[in-house]
Amino acid sequence: GQNIDQPTEMTATEGAIVQINCTYQTSGFNGLFWYQQHAGEAPTFLSYNVLDGLEEKGRFSSFLSRSKGYSYLLLKELQMKDSASYLCAVSDSNYQLIWGAGTKLIIKP
Amino acid sequence: DGGITQSPKYLFRKEGQNVTLSCEQNLNHDAMYWYRQDPGQGLRLIYYSQIVNDFQKGDIAEGYSVSREKKESFPLTVTSAQKNPTAFYLCASSIGAGDYNEQFFGPGTRLTVL
């Protein structure tokens, strides 16, 4: 079966750095997405990785290792507005997105 | 501005009634999707459509129906056969179902069945 694992919840301090991990086992791989979702709102796109390595975009970076079935999202200089759920999704062999359950990130002042 | 609209944002229905959730996009995307999200869970795919007049069942299609008569529109009907319909429903679209398939989401409809 297809499976994506993320921690359920993480807590971090304003101004700090946090790393949210995602491991996956899917039938095929055509890229990995990270989305941010604030409570009661729609998910919004953060990043996309299809090749191994690090993609940096401002305070957010995303890393992929296809051989290990592993990705992480790195958030730097945390702000209170970063309190949200972060969803990992893998595009499988049929180009369907398989979604993880999401990681709820709580930022404390 | 291009985007996806869903209406209404909140919807209340009595048990046993069918209800239709609307989803419209003006992004000229070919593919459209319906997801259900329950508290503490990820997105679960209900139905998807890659082209007008064609749609496929997702992982949890039982108790739901869709139509795709126009490229811009992909309404979802929650029927009385759906045993636990109270949830947050998200509609999404992408350029196509192949290659780079970033999905863009509407604001969602929160359905409560009383």
Return phi, psi of residue A67, to 5°. -65, -30
C-beta separation of A57 from B63 below 8 A: no
Given this model, what pLDDT does residue B40 score?
78
The Cβ of residue A55 has, within 10 Å, a number of other Cβ atoms equal to 15
- Alpha carbons A54 and A58: distance in angstroms, whole number: 13
- As beta bridge partners, residue A5 has A23
> Which of A57-61, A95-99, B27-31, B64-68 is predicted with the least confidence, judged by mean pLDDT?
A95-99
Q: What distance in Å separates residue B18's CA from the closest CA in chain A?
A: 24
The token pair at B9 is 């944002």
Q: Which residues contact B46 (CB under 8 A, 6 or more apart)?
A: B34, B35, B36, B58, B59, B60, B61, B64, B66, B76
Which residues 84-113 of B are in CB contact (within 8 Å) with A? Answer: 88, 90, 97-108, 110
- Alpha carbons B69 and B89: distance in angstroms, whole number: 20
Given this model, what pLDDT does residue A96 score?
87
Considering only CB atoms, A42 lies closest to which of B44, B45, B106, namely B106
- Each residue's pLDDT tens digit in chain A (109 positions)? 789 999 999 999 999 999 999 999 998 999 999 999 999 899 999 999 999 999 999 999 999 999 999 999 999 999 999 999 999 999 998 888 999 999 999 999 9
- Alpha carbons A26 and A91: distance in angstroms, whole number: 9
CB contact under 8 A, B42 and A87: yes
- Alpha carbons B71 and B49: distance in angstroms, whole number: 10
Please tell me the number of Cα atoms within 13 Å of A66 on its side-chain side: 13
